[in-house]
Amino acid sequence: MARYTGIIARYREWLPIADDARIVTLGEGDTPLIRLDRLTKTTGRDVTIYVKFEGLNPTGSFKDRGMCFAVTKAVEAGSQALICASTGNTSASAAAYAARAGLAAFVLIPEGKIALGKLSQAMIHGAVVVQIQGNFDAGMKLVKEIAATTPVTLVNSVNPYRLQGQKTAAFEVVDALGFAPNYHYLPVGNAGNITAHWFGYQDYARQGRCAMPKLVGFQAAGAAPFVSGKMVDDPETIATAIRIGHPQSWSLAQSAKEATGGWFGAIDDAEILVTQKLLAREEGIFCEPASAVSVAGALHDLRAGRIEDGATVVCTVTGHGLKDPDVAIRQGGPTELLTVTPTLSAVRAIILDRTG
């Protein structure tokens, strides 16, 4: 088998790219589709649930698919610098792909509201990190204005190439299953990814490779404009990745929902944390809080009877848990980190206590 070299090589015929283009790749994509056996059993329902674990991309989130393509196109256009606003993952990915391509990267992040792992990524890859005293939506407004007047390429998902790259996740799901799921659940923030999945499934459906799944978007309850039907000015949630009140792909995501017969829902922070822990403890899948929202949504809808028996459900788990070590450690609680003297008796006492 040939060495895997990323989404452009694998799905070239579905992407607008010249034959002689210089491809900027870190081997993104080809992420596993993991069946949730233990969690599915707890629902008591006859359904099959898979996680598409996008946290296993090179920088630990699904953004790498879109960034690979956006940066490849930026290089093709002769760009020297990238810019984005970010809740963290886009900045990590932009920083890495910029380094790979030899471009400068400028990233605007909300001060104090980005997970530690993501900040460390942007910094180590050499991006110019600008913290703004405002949220993602404020940063987004700024970078759009700057990109319109300065020679820098905007690599947020308003850049159409981002969505083209990200649609390859839908291709992989169909290629792995041999068909499309009945339902595909995604966490929604800026709404680029649900739109990208709609594009991907449409491409395959047009060629008769699959039927259209219902696209279901879930948000954090404190940042849920798609559920309330109006923009939110002060979004707040522990899932900082999706702490967004003014999603850029508003109408495209609405169309994705309507055209596929899907819906939007919201999960509160307590349930997000419970689901993150469940995935880690019952299935061995460590994701960041925002990513647990898709699985929480599917479990919620299963219990509510919104999904029929026999259905196949795919939940995109967007980012790796190592992105946000602070939340993970806080999830543990004080009794789970034990300190003892380095003696046989002390360690044995703990084991006997826990297995007895």
For residue 188, state whether it binds ligand F0G (rule: CB under 6 A): yes
For residue 95, state whether it binds ligand F0G (rule: CB under 6 A): no
Among 67, 241, 295, 307, which residue interacts with ligand F0G (rule: CB under 6 A)? 241
Class of residue 237 by CB neighbours under 10 A (exposed 0-12, middle 13-18, buried 19+): buried
For residue 114, state whether it binds ligand F0G (rule: CB under 6 A): no
- Can you tell me the distance from the alpha carbon of 304 to that of 229, in angstroms, rounded to the nearest whole number? 22
Min dist. Cβ of residue 34 to ligand F0G (A)? 17
Contacts with ligand F0G in 255-314 (CB under 6 A)? 288, 290-291
Instruction: Kindly list the distances between the CA atom of residue 240 and the CA atoms of 96, 109, 141, 177, 280, in Å, as whole numbers in the listed order.
Output: 21, 11, 18, 32, 19
**Between residues 10 and 162, which has the closer beta carbon with respect to ligand F0G?**
162
Report how many residues bind ligand F0G under the rule CB under 6 A: 22
Interacting span for ligand F0G (CB under 6 A) from 3-11, 184-192, 295-303, 344-352: 184-192
Min dist. Cβ of residue 189 to ligand F0G (A)? 3
Instruction: Kindly list the distances between the CA atom of residue 60 and the CA atoms of 9, 112, 254, in Å, as whole numbers in the listed order.
Output: 20, 21, 27
Helix boundaries (H) for 79-187: 89-101, 116-124, 136-149, 160-166, 168-177
Contacts with ligand F0G in 73-92 (CB under 6 A)? 86-90
Instruction: Kindly list the distances between the CA atom of residue 226 and the CA atoms of 181, 217, 250, 259, 289, in Å, as whole numbers in the listed order.
Output: 23, 9, 8, 16, 19
**Between residues 134 and 209, which has the closer beta carbon with respect to ligand F0G?**
134
What letter would DSSP give residue 302?
Answer: H
For residue 189, state whether it binds ligand F0G (rule: CB under 6 A): yes
Chain residues binding ligand F0G by CB under 6 A are 61, 63, 86-90, 157, 187-193, 241-242, 288, 290-291, 318-319
